[in-house]
Amino acid sequence: MSKEFATVAEAFSKKALVYDRFGENHPNLTRMREIVYKHVLSLIEPGSKMLEINAGTGTDASAFASQGFRIHATDISREMVNNIDEKIRVHGLDSNLSSQQISFTELHRVNHQPFQYILSNLGGLNCISSLDEVVEGISSILTPGGIVTVVIMPPICPWEWFALLRGDTKTATRRLHADGVLANIEGVQFMTYYHTPGQVRESFGSDYVPLKRSALSLFSPPADNKKFPRKHPNLYRILVKLDQLLGHHPPFNNWGDFFIASYKFQPK
């Protein structure tokens, strides 16, 4: 493991200790996850074997396993994987859900391959400057005709522009640095990179056919905002409605806290 990714693993191992607690009573994050689940369920075939990379504490993997899908959840962080194993034990998911500590740059070594569906949710792939190496690994373990869904933070997030009203130019412009910005997770710093949909499409290349793309939290609050829906419920509902009306259409589907993009693997 490179020094850079060892730092990422350290950061998210510390985050694992508080991550699930942050997600409790968090209607905004729950809404965002449900949008991703709906996207995936519209594409996945019944009986598909799924791989989740950067699976975190296993919240998404557990949700899909509970619906009958066989899913292998992987993460670079030992503590994150420990959380996945605890969910398997508590919820009795051992027949549908398995785990492995591994980086998404080492997918050729992942267990239980090949897979018919691969998911990367909520910005894990923003921890790497180029997706080329990840895509190469995905191509080695995804069956022809299989689908990959990525949920990635783009450079343009309209919500963060509101920070300009407070004079906070650092927050408003932080995603616009082409060489990435320093993130701080539980006191550990590492580089984060914001990828445009065009850059992601280029990395997947001609062996992948785009299926659909949409914004995730276009005008509504980002995933780290837990209080807004309760403090401003009427405004929150209006912003969510705007997301629903505009988030599937260009150019809006290039923006947001994240965008969701899916591709079908059709190697030549």
The C-alpha angle with vertex 86 and arms to 84 and 87, in degrees rounded to 5, equals: 65
pLDDT score at 73: 98
pLDDT score at 4: 81
CB-facing half-sphere around the CA of 61: CA atoms within 13 A: 35
pLDDT score at 165: 86
DSSP state at residue 262: E
pLDDT digits (tens, 9 = 90+) for 182-191: 999 999 999 9
**Domains of the chain (ranges, CATH numbers):** 3-265 (3.40.50.150)
Listed in sequence order, the residues at least 6 apart from 198 whose beta carbon sits closer than 8 Å to its beta carbon are: none
pLDDT score at 264: 98
pLDDT score at 268: 87
Residue numbers in the chain where pLDDT is lower than 50: none
pLDDT score at 247: 98
pLDDT score at 233: 97
pLDDT score at 7: 92
pLDDT digits (tens, 9 = 90+) for 64-73: 999 999 999 9
